Structures are given as structure tokens and as C-alpha cells.
Amino acid sequence: MTASLAHVSIDVPNPLQQWIEAQIALGGYDSTSAYLCHLVEQDQERKKREYEHFKSVFDRLGVKTVAEFHALAAKRARELEGDPHEIEVMAFLDSLGDEEEI
């Protein structure tokens, strides 16, 4: 079964267009569409790996939400007197939102 295709029109700066054309000319892709689809697929895979990694961490820690992780990380940071790694992890997770379930 072939997926239906949608038409997307984007504007890119000239240097990016030149980069895309170079990738096609090098023979790695048949078209701009093929190149951009490949990049989106790579991004999807990267995000899936990140999700699985954090889910694994959350499972090992016994937490289900970012808020629960924040509470645990804050407790650990206090125990470690503000270990920079713990604080960096907390800052990253702040960007995810408090109630997001992993």
C-alpha cells in the first residue's frame, strides 16, 4: 500500500537550496522531495530514540511524569548540593512541560 502524498511548498535561503541541489547532484537523492523526506524520517527516528531513552530512565526511576521526575531530581540535587549534571537534566526537562507523561 502506497502512502498518499501531500504537496508542501517551502521557502529556503539560497545557501540551503544550493546545499540541497548539491546533495541531489552527488547522487544520494532523486529529488528535493526525496532529500527532505529523508531528513524528516531521520528526525522522527532521532525523536523516537530520545523518547525511548527517557522512557527507560523514567521506568528505572519509577516515575511516570516530568513533574515526578522534577521532584526526584530536585531532591537528588539537594542531596548532591546542586550537582551541575542534575541541574542540567532538570533544565532540559523543564522544556518538556510539567504534566507530560513519558
Residue 32 contacts by C-beta under 8 Å, 6 or more apart in sequence? 20, 21, 24
Measured CA to CA in angstroms, residue 81 lies from 70, 74, 84, 85 at distances of 16, 10, 9, 11
Q: Is residue 31 part of a domain?
A: no
Are the C-beta atoms of residues 101 and 51 closer than 8 Å to each other? no
pLDDT of res. 73: 79
For residue 95, the enclosing domain spans 63-102
- Indicate the residue type of 29: Y
Q: Is residue 50 part of a domain?
A: no
pTM: 0.61
Q: Is residue 77 part of a domain?
A: yes
Q: Is residue 23 part of a domain?
A: no
pLDDT of res. 88: 66
CA distance 78 to 18: 51
The one-digit pLDDT tens for each residue of the chain (102 residues) are 567 889 989 999 999 999 999 999 998 899 999 999 999 999 999 999 988 888 888 888 888 888 888 888 788 777 776 555 666 666 666 666 555 555
Nearest one of 73, 6, 68 to 37, comparing CA atoms = 6
- The number of distinct structural domains making up the chain is 1
